[in-house]
Structure 1
Amino acid sequence: MLLDLADDLRRDLDQAVYTVDRLRGLWGDVADDALQRADRVPALRALAGRTEASAILARLFVLGDTVPRDEAERALPATGVAAALAQGLLEPAPSGTEGQPADAVRGTIDLRPYSVVDAIGVAAWWIASDLGELATGRALRTDHVLGIGGASATLSGLMLPDRARSVLDLGTGCGIQALHASRFADRVVATDISARALDFGRLNAALNGVDTIEFRLGSLYEPVAGERFDRIVSNPPFVITPRREGVPEYEYRDGGMVGDALVAAVVSGAAEHLEPGGIAQLLGNWEYRGDDSGSGDSDGGDADGLDRAAAWARDAGLEHWIIEREQADPARYAETWIRDGGTKPRSTEWEPLLGAWLDDFADRGVDAVGFGYVLLRRPADGALDRGAAAPSALARVERIPEALGENPAGLGPHLSAVLAAHDALVALGPDGVDAHAFRVAPDVTEERSHWPGEEAPSALVLRQGGGFARTLRVSPAVAAAVGAYDGELALGVIASAIAQLLELDERSVLDEIRAETLELVRGGLVVP
């Protein structure tokens, strides 16, 4: 087992200074950009003739290259090539490989450095997974274990950084979310339906010296029956795959259910596995079924995908904040995921696969598929009022397709702050807002536009630098109030002064400032 090599391999990786910065320095920015496009040629050329251990390791475990055995021995002195071959970390290169000696070897897994900055600080790990198409040049195997992809990076950036006693990572894959959760949790349980994925997860925990993660095999919530957690995180296999002959089903992205039923099951199942006040965060797809799929009204019928997602949460008795970031038509959605599996456009497999996906969507009346972020919370009293919610409960759906703001530590701290603000407003109650002091968030700026020759501004816009980069056009009265929010004077006092200054009706000004302030708090531009 590869796990048996973890201690020696960790020593070799550490001694080789096998880091993100080191590899980028070896092959340069141009090759690094090419690798993001799944083109390894510039990196291979940059490493040709390099004898550093880090270069040899990158050729073996990132680029899928073959290297002479003696070079591999120098790069893996503690592990040893014999042990690496015996345990399946390396394999003999195919016979007749041009330009290589007969004893050349190559890596069997993808093993690369990873680093990230979050609210806790800098994290640097080594992450093992299956070799991808870049290294193998072939379509992925159906039990492929994915490394760190765009979706997993998105979810880790969304994680609330607040301390937790226990976290469930549902569908852990290679274990990257469990590693992130281990930074703020006392205990992490990581589950997956794939035994191969759990093997990689255990290896990654061992490689990085993390001993607070427990790995369990099973589908959805079965491995944690009867248990509750302070936090649940999940990058579930949410891809909507046709249940048709000839369409490959990849374990890392396909949950084996029809349409968006897998995401619905993760949402509904979270209710019984969250502690009171516990929070679940996941990524997901939801289908639009009907002519009004592009509607911005989130209170419409079942055709609206956001309505469907919100209904899953309501029916489970959970508070929710669901954000749609993208929406794709059936053809674009199908093309994206067919490519993801390694099938090339205009290959013999391409058109039959695309036809199968489009037939599936057409048969079920699906016009579009949404993608976004789901945040769920069990009420603090633990009660699950299924199908209804208290007026003060968090129940929010929105579309935010624009670019995000500057969030060096990810969106997690912003989400945490907005949740805290929501709870603060609930605690104040409708009668307490006017007597409360607010402050403007430090990343908010004001923009004024003037018509030539006019003294008064024609437009006042508040712009958020971080978070979701929200912008809100406001009146002079609201702009003045926000400018005065320093955490000292109460909203009602400020509104009264502004009404007198602008010679406006005090009640009207107060109502306007209060309503807009509440909206600004919900967006994170103003903080109670």
Structure 2
Amino acid sequence: MSSSLLPAKLPEISRQLVAVFRRENFTVAGVSELLGPQATAAWRRGEPAAVRRQAPEDSALGVLIRVFILGDAVSRATLADILGESVVATLCPGSANAAEVRITCDIIPHVIAGADHWVFSDKDASMVQKVAGAEHVLGVGAASLSLLDSVPRSSVDSLLDVGTGSGVQLLAQAPYAAHLTGTDIHRRALDFAEATVLGAGLVDVELVQGSWFEPVAGMKFDRIVANPPFVVGLPEVGHVYRDSGFNLDGASELMVSQVADYLTEGGTAHLLAAWIHEDGARWQQRIASWLPDNGVCAWVLQRDVADPELYVSTWLSDESVDPRSPAGQERTTLWLDHFATHKVSGIGFGFVAIQRLADDEPSDIVVEELSQQFTDPLGDEVAEYFLRAGWLREQTQVSFALATYQLRPGVAVEEVSVADESTGQGVVPAAKRIVRLDGPRFSHDIDEHVLAMLKGLHPNGLSLAEIVELYCQAHGFDSDEVLVEMIGIMVDLIRHGLVLPAELIAD
């Protein structure tokens, strides 16, 4: 029989469950070791039969894999031997006389912030054929992992997770925040989140039900994270985990425009967001218009853009709707007609990082694309970006020119040559770039003059003004004009971390 467990019951047994999971090595490493590399890869691809073959029914770990990862029905007596009778009775209410039981929620092992954790959520469609309902609560998805990697790992006193869902971000931030608060409009989500954080042994966590920032009105936090329901679409709520009820990108606008009001001075917010690209308008200006004129430093990074057709198809697949079915075709037409009415040519997705400045300080807003491939977590880069941006705001033209700098360790110079079409023989130089080999791997086009002056940078050496003066004397250039141009180039290189002011280099 299948259990009809309500998530409100899970917090009562989450600690006992996690204790068993640790004892039986139901961890990412333990499961991977038992399954072997091929079946582990099949697990990640969502291929249950391949996983089941490697999960023996006569071992406790194999049974746990079948129950909590595969969603199989198993002997109630066997499960009670592993978990304990009281835990099974709570997981499977009304099952005392049943020969077999099936658990209908997910309790999946993950490694989060370097530690073994278990996330409690509704069962997804990765291992079973399932259509997510309107009340579905997600576990650990690609978006939540992206947000997790984009948040700095420095210590703070207080953290707020808006739309906490199953509590993934709370687990990720627990090592760094003394006091954790999670909010969600969805009571079911908060029940799962409570089970997740209690299972992790977290006690200084407050979970509050309410919409957006309403539960924390008048409060301020050192760090705010949010993976809100940012799906761009019609003003309706089909699935509470992804649909806000706002039209188009209204959910992202609300978060971006209001989050600074809940930050302490110097505090930071880290959000996932989506926005429309509208015919005849600049998407960068759209997002910048959501931010106040004073009091914030904001770094907005567009990671991807989807055309309306691909976007709609992707989200229909997310809810297991076949776009070929009559229902899928009807939904597709309705959604695309809505986009066409509002002149939507594309939908962008990415990261928004905001630092709270003094109320009277002009806002410092950069909105740009981050389309290059990279693998390093973004959180450390975001923290350093705010340091670099803060240093730039403090400079005058004179102080900038008199400062000393260093090329970032690991920076490379890339020279590109192409076939010489004019002669039909050999190659000619086409581009010269300075490239970061770490972090987001930013690159900037430069010329031989800029490169020569960059080679002269040393934190204990000549100032930028002195380097420019010497170079111009040697080549007959006007040093005043070159210095102004070089400062502009250097500002961009510092923003992207290719060049570091000596003042920011750790001893």
TM value normalised by structure 2 = 0.89
Partner of 2:284: 306
Partner of 1:465: 437
Partner of 2:494: 521
1:105 maps to 2:101? yes
- Give the counterpart of 1:57 among 61, 64, 78: 64
Amino acid at match of 1:395: I
SS in 2 for 1:307: helix
Partner of 2:403: 436
Distance 1:342 1:42 in 2: 22
Partner of 1:420: 387
Distance 1:444 1:51 in 2: 54
Task: Return the offset for 1:450.
Answer: 5.9
Partner of 1:234: 226
Do the aligned residues in 2 keep the contact of 1:91 with 1:105 (CA within 8 Å)?
no
SS in 2 for 1:33: helix
Amino acid at match of 2:43: L
Q: 1:376 to 1:155 in 2, by over 3 A?
A: same
SS in 1 for 2:276: strand
Deviates more, 1:230-239 or 1:271-280: 271-280
Partner of 1:298: none
Between the two proteins, the alignment pairs up a number of residues equal to 487
Task: Return the offset for 1:240.
Answer: 2.1
Amino acid at match of 1:228: K
Task: Return the offset for 1:222.
Answer: 0.8
Distance 2:224 2:21 in 1: 32
Partner of 1:18: 26
Amino acid at match of 2:447: S
Amino acid at match of 2:275: W
Amino acid at match of 1:475: D
Distance 1:15 1:90 in 2: 25
Partner of 1:273: 262
Distance 1:29 1:481 in 2: 51
Deviates more, 1:186-195 or 1:456-465: 456-465
Within 5 A, what are the aligned runs for 1:39-118?
39-47=47-55, 49-76=56-83, 80=84, 82-88=85-91, 103-116=99-112
Distance 1:63 1:153 in 2: 22
Task: Return the offset for 1:74.
Answer: 4.1
SS in 2 for 1:434: helix
Q: 1:7 to 1:346 in 2, by over 3 A?
A: same
Q: 1:454 to 1:358 in 2, by over 3 A?
A: closer
Do the aligned residues in 1 keep the contact of 2:353 with 2:382 (CA within 8 Å)?
no
Q: 1:212 to 1:259 in 2, by over 3 A?
A: same
Partner of 2:197: 205
Q: 1:71 to 1:497 in 2, by over 3 A?
A: farther
SS in 1 for 2:47: coil
SS in 1 for 2:202: coil
What 5-or-longer segments of structure 1 have no aligned partner? Answer: 96-101, 293-302, 384-388
Amino acid at match of 1:207: G
Distance 1:86 1:234 in 2: 35
Partner of 1:29: 37
Distance 1:454 1:287 in 2: 45
Within 5 A, what are the aligned runs for 1:357-376?
357-376=335-354
Q: 1:459 to 1:346 in 2, by over 3 A?
A: closer
Task: Return the offset for 1:184.
Answer: 1.4
Distance 1:315 1:259 in 2: 24
Deviates more, 1:141-150 or 1:35-44: 35-44
Within 5 A, what are the aligned runs for 1:292-441?
292=280, 303-314=281-292, 318-379=296-357, 381-383=358-360, 390=362, 393-404=363-374, 406-407=375-376, 410-441=377-408
Do the aligned residues in 1 keep the contact of 2:112 with 2:171 (CA within 8 Å)?
no
Amino acid at match of 2:220: R
Within 5 A, what are the aligned runs for 1:102-141?
103-116=99-112, 122-141=114-133
Deviates more, 1:493-502 or 1:13-22: 493-502
Task: Return the offset for 1:458.
Answer: 5.8
Amino acid at match of 1:83: S
- Give the counterpart of 1:193 among 182, 185, 190: 185
Distance 1:514 1:507 in 2: 11
Amino acid at match of 2:167: G
Do the aligned residues in 2 keep the contact of 1:2 with 1:89 (CA within 8 Å)?
no
Distance 2:396 2:288 in 1: 25
Do the aligned residues in 2 keep the contact of 1:91 with 1:108 (CA within 8 Å)?
no
Q: 1:235 to 1:91 in 2, by over 3 A?
A: farther
Deviates more, 1:342-351 or 1:180-189: 342-351
Amino acid at match of 1:2: L
SS in 2 for 1:469: coil
Amino acid at match of 1:138: K
Task: Return the offset for 1:442.
Answer: 2.0
Do the aligned residues in 1 keep the contact of 2:14 with 2:195 (CA within 8 Å)?
yes
- Give the counterpart of 2:272 among 280, 283, 289: 283
Do the aligned residues in 2 keep the contact of 1:90 with 1:106 (CA within 8 Å)?
no
Distance 2:234 2:29 in 1: 41
Amino acid at match of 1:8: Q
What percentage of aligned pairs have identical amino acids?
30
Q: 1:64 to 1:474 in 2, by over 3 A?
A: same
Do the aligned residues in 2 keep the contact of 1:54 with 1:75 (CA within 8 Å)?
no
Task: Return the offset for 1:509.
Answer: 3.9
Amino acid at match of 1:333: Y
Task: Return the offset for 1:467.
Answer: 2.4
Task: Return the offset for 1:167.
Answer: 1.2
Alignment RMSD = 2.6
Distance 2:92 2:148 in 1: 28
Distance 2:248 2:181 in 1: 28
SS in 2 for 1:256: coil
Q: 1:502 to 1:523 in 2, by over 3 A?
A: same
1:214 maps to 2:210? no
Q: 1:447 to 1:401 in 2, by over 3 A?
A: closer
Do the aligned residues in 2 keep the contact of 1:324 with 1:370 (CA within 8 Å)?
yes
Task: Return the offset for 1:497.
Answer: 3.3
Task: Return the offset for 1:478.
Answer: 2.0
Q: 1:419 to 1:318 in 2, by over 3 A?
A: closer
Q: 1:87 to 1:433 in 2, by over 3 A?
A: same
